[in-house]
Amino acid sequence: MITKLVVFRHVYYAVLGYRAFCTMVIMNKDYVNTLKELTASNVYIKDKTKVNEIINELAKAGINKLQVILDFDRTVTKQHVNGVRQYSSFGIFEKCPSLPASYLSAVTHLNEKYMPIEFNPLVPRAEKKKHMEDWWRLSEETLIGLTVSQTEIDEVVKEIQPPLRDGCPEFFSSITKENVPILIFSAGLGQTVVSVLKYHGILNEKVKVVANFLKYDENGVIQGFRDNIIINVFNKNESVLRGTEYYERIKDRTNAIVVGDSLGDASMFDCVAHKASVLKIGFLYDHVSDIYFVKIVTTLEKNIGQFKYLLPI
Provide the phi-psi class of 82: left if phi over 0, else alpha when psi is between -120 and 50, else beta: left
Spell out the residues 6+ positions from residue 133 whose beta carbon is closer than 8 angstroms to its own: 230, 232, 234
CB 216 within 8 A of CB 247: no
The vertex-241 CA angle with 78 and 124, nearest 5°, equals 70
Nearest-approach distance from CB 268 to Mg ion, in angstroms = 11
Q: Smaller CB distance to Mg ion: residue 55 or 207?
A: 207
Q: Which is nearer to Mg ion, 52 or 77 (CB)?
A: 77
User: Nearest approach, Cβ of 285 to Mg ion (angstroms)?
Assistant: 10
Beta carbon of residue 74, minimum distance to Mg ion (angstroms, whole number): 4
Q: Has 71 been annotated as catalytic? A: yes
Q: Closer to Mg ion at the Cβ: 277 or 303? A: 303
Residue type at position 300? L
Residue nearest to Mg ion (CB): 73
Active-site residue identified among 71, 227, 265, 290 = 71
Rounded distance between C-alpha atoms, residue 166 and residue 183, angstroms? 19
CB of 25 to Mg ion, least distance (A): 42
Q: Are 45 and 268 in contact (CB under 8 A)?
A: no
Give the residue with the Cβ less far from Mg ion, 118 or 261.
Answer: 261
| Residue 73: active-site member | yes
Which is catalytic among the residues 73, 217, 227, 290?
A: 73
Q: Which is nearer to Mg ion, 73 or 94 (CB)?
A: 73
Distances from the Cα of 204 to the Cα of 38, 177, 194, 195, 310, angstroms: 29, 11, 10, 12, 20
Minimum separation from the CB atom of position 71 to Mg ion (A): 4
> Which SS3 state, helix, strand or coil, does residue 277 take?
coil
Q: 31: Cβ–Cβ under 8 A, 6 or more apart, which residues?
A: 38, 51, 52, 55, 56, 59, 313
Which residues lie near Mg ion (CB under 5 A)?
Answer: 71, 73-75, 261
Catalytic residues: 71, 73
